[in-house]
Chains A and B, each alone.
Chain A
């Protein structure tokens, strides 16, 4: 079994964060999203991984992941270029995959339960494809599967008015190489892309058996800022607390907190988990870091109350203000305007930013 990890896309819904890098490198609990997928693949015994890259972030992703040896996997890069759809991305991996089965994983997805069960379910039968599904409240907004009693897929429907089930497609699939013949028979859809659901539907129409596996636990597509915050919350909820940094005697650190060995929590600072604090972070006196917050490396916080937020890193915040539900990009400085005249906020804000003052 090989792995194909899709890491293209423009990340437009995550601007301005993605003006300077690909969405797959946005950190969740201080770890780039794509590393969760690599770990899931490795945990499932999939160590031969092809990473499909688009235009954006090609170099940054290669610089982070290298040849994969740091993760115990072997990585081949596949340059898709133009984003011509998931089936085109899969098709670009044909030579890499060869005659093996492969699991295809969207590089900006995180799921709690990993992919071991999905692969085991696929391997247990003579299937040509396996799809991961999850129950959703509004199936009308998703690709939805119609299943037999034994879980074999009868049909896939995109955003149906009358959904045959509430089981939506999660962005993780297992395929045998017959999928490549189906992809070759596809024509671009109305939006000019080769759709993977069309390729799977062709397999169904050919009489191939398609397995389905309902994912237990949460699944998150981290395409938007609110999704990053939600994924951060979900991952932090499950983290193993580990305080390795310096916590001064007058500091209050409670709950599930992970603190890097080079981080310093000063006296009169409060950290209330679940929280993750990365390397070279200094939480200064008078600061409150509340639940579901990740503070990225090389960051200094002073006097601020921050919770349910992600600070990506290389940031300084020194203001007696409350910051909640926020995603703060790298290299940001937030200071107090108190005492400055005329009174008011002073902003240097990047394109496509989103502020609530």
Chain B
């Protein structure tokens, strides 16, 4: 299964796509980091893959 992540450019915190997709737009979960992370910022092929295999990314 492809595992897709994004890395916050401000603090280096890595966030899994399932988290990004659930929130769509979120404040970076890195402590005291104000960066905004978006599912839409992932590459298009990663987003498409994730949405096509959505069931595998939830328990």
Contact = CB atoms under 8 A, between A and B. Distances in A.
Judge: A and B partners, yes or no: yes
Contacts of B7: 95
Given A59-B31, A187-B1, A84 B14 contact: no
B31 A92 contact: no
Contacts of A96: 14
A79 B31 contact: no
Interface in A301-350: none
Contacts of B1: 88, 91, 183-184, 186-188, 194
Interface residues of A, number: 31
A184 B3 CA distance: 7
Given A59-B31, A76-B14, A77-B30, A92 B3 contact: yes
A50 interface: yes
Contacts of A79: 13-16, 19, 29
A91 B19 contact: no
Interface string B1-41: 11101010000111110110010000001110000000000
Chain A interface, DSSP helix/strand/loop, else mixed = mixed
A80 B16 contact: yes
A95 B14 contact: yes
A92 B59 contact: no
A4 to B, nearest CB: 11
Given A94-B3, A95-B5, A84 B19 contact: no
A193 B12 CA distance: 26
Interface in A180-226: 183-184, 186-188, 192-194
Contacts of A80: 16, 19
Interface in B28-56: 29-31, 56
A78 B14 contact: yes
13 contacts: A76-B14, A77-B13, A78-B5, A78-B15, A79-B15, A80-B16, A81-B19, A83-B59, A91-B1, A95-B7, A184-B3, A187-B56, A188-B56
The 4 closest A-B pairs by CB, nearest first: A91-B3, A81-B19, A62-B31, A78-B14
